[in-house]
Amino acid sequence: MLLFWFYTVWIPLLTVFDRALSSYSEDQCSWKGSGLSQQPGSVEQISLHCAEGSLDWLYPKGALRLTLSPRLPSTVVGPGGNRHSGSGHITACVKPAESFHGAQLYLERDGILELLVGDRPESQRPPRVRCFSRHPGERVALFLQATPHQDISRRIAAFRYELRGVWNARLSLDSDPVNSEGACRPCNDTEILMAVCTSDFVVRGNIRSVVENQDLQVSMIKVSATRVFRQKYALFSGAGRLTKAGEIRTLLECGVRNGAGSFLFTGRVHFGEAWLGCAPRYKDFQRAYSLAKEARQIPCELASD
């Protein structure tokens, strides 16, 4: 009798709730829904149109196919800020939630599936950020396949995503080859000047300490910022009038060490975290900037000391 009540009363109520819950965000950056109303073997088609957002799939059942069609600004789509002059490459990264369970996430590239995130046992470490590139003319989508479980009530497959244009490897973060290649190589003068113009943060400061995280395979650089030229979000803050504090991440394999002196830190914000790009000593930046200014070859102005 109890089982009959569950299927005739509770399941229909859950299905109605599920249909009401399944929705896009107003700006079409994110989607939230559940698999309770999906038919076995069905694939729900989803399309999102932002450079960053999220997906939350409750009670995974069946499959989802997610197409990312971002309305990226022209400045991040191709070199030189020209939407049509660039190579058309887009770098995308997904960051699974620590509680990601109940589904497997695949990259679908020209009809071929590549596993990005598996359905892991709860005892395993949280899944890592995964990145990939889309080349011109390629058809790319994300495919989520629910895995069978007797109890789906505690299963949620959720992740955040970010997309950018041609994304320099040194400004990314995963162990995936698309990100780590060349990430530890020092910047030349041209790269330093371009980083000043295009980075999410440009900060002059000193290294207070470097903390290594073996689990994440990253180094956390604790920075005292004496001047914040630009920052996306409140990365460097504090009550002090002259200095602000912040943290910048880089790959552990780069072997960053504590060093005396003033540096110019540049880089990208990735899922709310600051990741190191070019970081010359401030005097080296001043030299490169002065030479380029004299030759009238500076890509942008910076109010340096």
pLDDT tens string 63-95: 999 998 776 554 443 333 333 334 466 788 899
Name the one residue in this structure whose structure tokens are 């896009």. 24
DSSP string across 148-184: P-S--TT-EEEEEEEEESS--GGG---SSHHHHTTTT
Query: Residue 249 — very low, low, confident or very high, per pLDDT cuts 50/70/90?
Result: very high
Residue 217: predicted pLDDT:
83
Residue 286: strand, helix, or coil: helix
| Average pLDDT score over the chain | 78
Q: Are 206 and 216 in contact (CB under 8 A)?
A: no
